[in-house]
Amino acid sequence: MKIVHVNSIKGGGSIACNRLSEALNLSGVTSQTFNMYSLSMIDTKRVWLNLLIEKIFFSGYQESKKARFKFTIPFWGIDITKYDEVKNADIIHLHWIYNGFLSLRSFKQLAKLNKPIVWTLHDMGAFTGGCFYSNDCDHYKNSCGNCFYLKKPAENDISSKIYALKKKIYNGMNIHIVTCSNWLGNLAKESSLFEMLDVRAIPNPINIEIFKPSHSGDIRKNLKLPENKFLILFVAANIADERKGMNYLIDAIVKLCQKYPEIKGNIELLIIGDVKNASFDFPCNYSLTGFIAGEAAMCNYYSAADMFVSPSLDDNLPNTVMESLSCGTPVLAFNTGGIPDMVEHKKNGYLSNYKSADDLMNGIYWIYENRLNTELKTNARNKVLTNYNYSIVAEKYIQLYKKMNTVSKATK
């Protein structure tokens, strides 16, 4: 059984895609990835041109510049059916395929190969009229339209037209939908786009031999981090992205230092990601590292930290949360998206009330007060061992592949 995993560009979806392919290979399945770097030079240029055209086209519709990369119009893409990796696969496994990579026309071309298709969703983009996260909007349940991302929302706006095109194409495909979290799975099942399709939840895997606990004292010395401080770790590719919730974290730490001034000098915030020379008004010490390259290097920071905080406002199954837990570091996060699949309240971390800086503060203080409780770290690690390690997740996909292959052969 040969599987090809198709993914557009770098990001959380790409990391999850690569890890799944590795897990499948270790389980005896022939698996390979196909992405931007697999394309010919001409097709690579076409993808970038497609992305530029899409964004210019959408600029005439977008409500604000903030919507630019929160909404996709899948009219421009390339034909990947001509590549041997796709032609020779038994099953085509799609992941994050936007930004000029695959279009609705590309889906039609894939359907002509008459191969089973799995599509692992990393956001809501597949079953909406264009947005990756709908916030509180539930128009995707029926037909979209009146989209708040557009400057002129209307019942028959471009989101409604995209939705109608998707429905027409999906209904003619042998496609199975997988979501990384139960939260996203429940939303997908509510969309009329997927009412005729198989939808199931299978989490992303993680390599527990790479992401594992290490002695924090030694690591802090090597990283030149304070050895006597309570370290709070925050990680985001783009820290300025409002969806990552940095403003809530700032408010929470301000409130914490006001309410518990005695711990102000005992805590320090460690920020990893693209900060673009930003500065923050934290009342406690903090440091900015920029990007950290490599999984082993990131493991050191997870292990060095006393807690990891993820105040994301919308997230599917964040790799960073899983990585932190795998390293035995408890997690504080808002009770939203797929995060409750991983974080168990006051067992391996703290689930804060959504968009509540006050409860985020409570979470920081609770983990600080329980920092000597070794069960928190043990539970964090065990959550990953029993749910997300390579062999467990790979086996779930293998069973799906076998079922799809059996059905496909029976219908030929």
Q: Are residues 7 and 155 both part of a single domain?
A: yes
Q: Answer yes or no: is pLDDT of 136 > 90.
A: no
Kind and range of the H or E run holding 15: helix 12-26
Q: Burial code of 33-46, b = ≥16 C-beta within 10 A, e = fewer?
A: bbbbebbeeebeeb
The verdict on residue 211 lying in a domain is no
pLDDT band at 237 (very low <50, low <70, confident <90, very high): confident
The verdict on residue 153 lying in a domain is yes
Q: Are residues 195 and 258 both part of a single domain?
A: no
For all residues of the chain together, what is the average pLDDT? 91
> pLDDT (tens digit, 9 = 90+) per residue, 8-37?
977 788 899 999 999 999 999 999 999 988
**Which pair of structure tokens corresponds to residue 41?**
């030079």
Percent of the chain beyond pLDDT 70?
Answer: 97
The verdict on residue 278 lying in a domain is yes
pLDDT band at 244 (very low <50, low <70, confident <90, very high): confident
| Residues sharing a CB contact under 8 Å with residue 43, sequence separation 6 or more, in sequence order | 78
* pLDDT value of residue 284: 79
Q: What is the CATH number of the domain that holds 357?
A: 3.40.50.2000
* pLDDT value of residue 218: 83
Range of the domain at 78: 2-205+390-411
Tokens 């199954």 found at: 317
* pLDDT value of residue 215: 78
Q: Are residues 194 and 262 both part of a single domain?
A: no
Q: Are residues 121 and 198 both part of a single domain?
A: yes
The verdict on residue 276 lying in a domain is yes
Q: Are residues 92 and 105 both part of a single domain?
A: yes
Q: Are residues 6 and 136 both part of a single domain?
A: yes
The verdict on residue 179 lying in a domain is yes
The verdict on residue 20 lying in a domain is yes
* pLDDT value of residue 167: 93
pLDDT band at 62 (very low <50, low <70, confident <90, very high): confident
Q: Are residues 258 and 117 both part of a single domain?
A: no
pTM of the model: 0.91
Percent of the chain beyond pLDDT 90?
Answer: 72
* pLDDT value of residue 278: 61
Q: What is the mean pLDDT of residues 70-86?
A: 95
Q: Please tell me what DSSP assigns to residue 63.
A: S
Cα gap 357→343, rounded to integer Å = 18
> pLDDT (tens digit, 9 = 90+) per residue, 304-330?
999 999 999 888 888 999 999 999 999
If one counts the domains in the chain, the total is: 2
* pLDDT value of residue 329: 96
Q: Are residues 126 and 251 both part of a single domain?
A: no
> pLDDT (tens digit, 9 = 90+) per residue, 280-298?
777 778 777 878 888 988 9
The verdict on residue 162 lying in a domain is yes
* pLDDT value of residue 400: 95
Q: What is the mean pLDDT of residues 334-361?
A: 96
Q: Are residues 97 and 228 both part of a single domain?
A: no
* pLDDT value of residue 385: 97
Q: What is the mean pLDDT of residues 190-195?
A: 92
* pLDDT value of residue 406: 66
Q: What is the mean pLDDT of residues 335-358?
A: 96
pLDDT band at 412 (very low <50, low <70, confident <90, very high): low
Give the other-Cβ count within 10 Å of 356's Cβ: 17
By DSSP bridging, strand 91-94 and strand 2-6 are: parallel
Kind and range of the H or E run holding 47: helix 41-59
* Stretch among 65-69, 146-150, 224-228 having the lowest mean pLDDT: 65-69
Beta strands across the sheet bearing 198-201: 30-34, 2-6, 91-94, 117-121, 175-179, 198-201
Q: Are residues 375 and 402 both part of a single domain?
A: no
Q: Answer yes or no: is pLDDT of 147 > 70.
A: yes
Q: Answer yes or no: is pLDDT of 410 > 60.
A: no
The verdict on residue 302 lying in a domain is yes
Q: Are residues 224 and 144 both part of a single domain?
A: no
pLDDT band at 357 (very low <50, low <70, confident <90, very high): very high
Q: Are residues 130 and 278 both part of a single domain?
A: no
Kind and range of the H or E run holding 116: none
Evaluated on CA atoms 276, 279, 282, 287, the torsion sign reads: positive
Name the amino acid, one letter, at 233.
Answer: L
